[in-house]
Amino acid sequence: MSSQLVILTHEFYPKRGGIAVYTEETARAACDLGWETTVWAPEHEALTNKDFPFAVRKVGIKGNLGWGDRKTMMWQIMQEARPFESSTVILTEPGPILAAMYLNAMGKLPFGKFSVVLHGSEILRFCRLRYRRELFGALLNHADKIGVVSRFTKKLLLRYYPFLGPKTVIVSGGLRTDFQPTSPAKPEKDTCTVLSLGRIHPRKGLHCLIEAVDHLPADVKSKICLSFVGPITDKNYLEKLKQMAKTSACRIEFPGPIEDERLPEAYAAADIFTLTSLRAGPSVEGFGMVCIEAGATGLPVIANRSGGIPEAVRHGKTGLIVSPRDRRDLAKAIQSLVEDQELRQRLGKAGVARAAELSWASNAEALVGKP
């Protein structure tokens, strides 16, 4: 087997979602291990002037899970069958996993050695239909390693395929290479900024925060500023939040999306970080890397007990885990942190240590070893 490593994805730069970041950082770490790495990614003009320590092959796909992209990826893989036979491959995203599932069923999958990374939601999606569940299982059985981002995701996988346990490894991720956390001293002040960072979408549960604050005593409400930072992906939901904000006793801000380089600044300006994601159909939070980023900047985290989030946030140590169905439980957590600066500092300090535990290098080595 050669030192050539190919990582296939339908989600990559300039998109900055979790899988895009996961793919890029895995590729960087693989390069550091000595792999000659190439990422196959959707074609985008932004890639022209972007420098990476690895090669990027632009594939003529839009970056979705439709049959158009799937067939294009399948065709391109078959065209490169001979090089793939001597290369190591990582599938980090559902798009190429689907392509590989069908190639495997046709007896045309050319990969000599390959690993698959699973985040959570794709397991539920692929296993809803019996025929697809069988195709998915056959591909995973063929894989050399299966990486999962959390114990939650591993448990979900083994529910459907208990025989895969011996070759399944937990590869949670880590901080982005360009993420430079700052942990400035937090002076005592009259207001407490509660930050939520992510898409403005119902699944993120931002309305839960507003409803929870309504349960707080008036003197606590007056100290709180909710800051919802992120791109608007559901305009109707944004309008709902704005209507709720009009009758809320606390200040609520909608700064919109921010560039990656400004994320540490957003964290540093906050006092508490929240992740109130809700499960919606087959969509789950596999881990919650954003909580690790927040912890790295010294922020205490309040998060819902959902998916793999309790593995990213250690209850009572780096943050507080609450019931996603109990607004009073969320309100109690908010109040305890708003009123206790010492508790915020203690949890935040532990969050910095938690972030330091995670390593992209160990992830990459667990998936493919060293060349």
Instruction: Give the C-alpha separation, 349 to 143, whole Å.
Output: 40
pLDDT value of residue 216: 96
Q: What percent of the chain has pLDDT over 70?
A: 98
**Residue 186 — pLDDT band, cuts 50, 70, 90?**
low
pTM above threshold 0.85: yes
pLDDT value of residue 182: 78
* pLDDT tens for each residue of 30-88: 999 999 999 999 999 999 889 999 999 999 999 999 999 999 999 999 999 999 999 99
pLDDT value of residue 190: 80
pLDDT value of residue 215: 94
pLDDT value of residue 1: 66
Q: Name residue, tokens 């964290």.
A: 267
- Provide mean pLDDT across the span 96-119: 98
End-to-end Cα, the chain, rounded Å = 8
* pLDDT tens for each residue of 277-331: 988 778 889 999 999 999 999 999 999 999 999 999 999 999 999 999 999 999 9
Q: What percent of the chain has pLDDT over 90?
A: 87
Angle subtended at Cα 219 by Cα 218 and Cα 224, rounded to the nearest 5 degrees: 90
- Provide mean pLDDT across the span 132-150: 98
Instruction: Give the C-alpha separation, 18 to 316, whole Å.
Output: 26
- Average pLDDT for the chain: 94
Q: Name residue, tokens 């594939």.
A: 59
**Residue 183 — pLDDT band, cuts 50, 70, 90?**
low
Which residues, at least 6 apart from 70, have a Cβ–Cβ distance to it below 8 Å?
A: 95, 98, 99, 102
Residue 185 has pLDDT above 80, yes or no: no
Angle subtended at Cα 333 by Cα 121 and Cα 209, rounded to the nearest 5 degrees: 60
Joined together, the tokens standing for residue 197 give: 């960072």
Which residues, at least 6 apart from 326, have a Cβ–Cβ distance to it below 8 Å?
A: none
Domains observed in the chain: 4-171 (3.40.50.2000), 192-356 (3.40.50.2000)
Q: For residues 51-87, b (16+ Cβ closer than 10 Å) or e, as one string? A: eeebebeebebebeeeeebbebbbebbeeeeeebeeb
Q: Which residues pair with 88 in a beta bridge?
A: 5, 113
168-170 sheet: strands from edge to edge: 55-59, 36-42, 4-8, 88-91, 113-118, 145-148, 168-170
* pLDDT tens for each residue of 33-48: 999 999 999 999 999 8
Joined together, the tokens standing for residue 57 give: 């092959």
Residue 274 has pLDDT above 90, yes or no: yes
Classify the phi-psi angles of 281: left when phi > 0, otherwise alpha if psi is within -120 to 50, otherwise beta.
Answer: left
Which residues, at least 6 apart from 149, have a Cβ–Cβ distance to it below 8 Å?
A: 22, 117, 118, 119, 120, 170, 171, 172, 173, 286, 287, 308
Which residues, at least 6 apart from 319, have a Cβ–Cβ distance to it below 8 Å?
A: 273, 291, 295, 300, 301, 302, 303, 313, 347, 351
Q: Name residue, tokens 């003009």.
A: 45
**Residue 255 — pLDDT band, cuts 50, 70, 90?**
very high
- Provide mean pLDDT across the span 85-114: 97
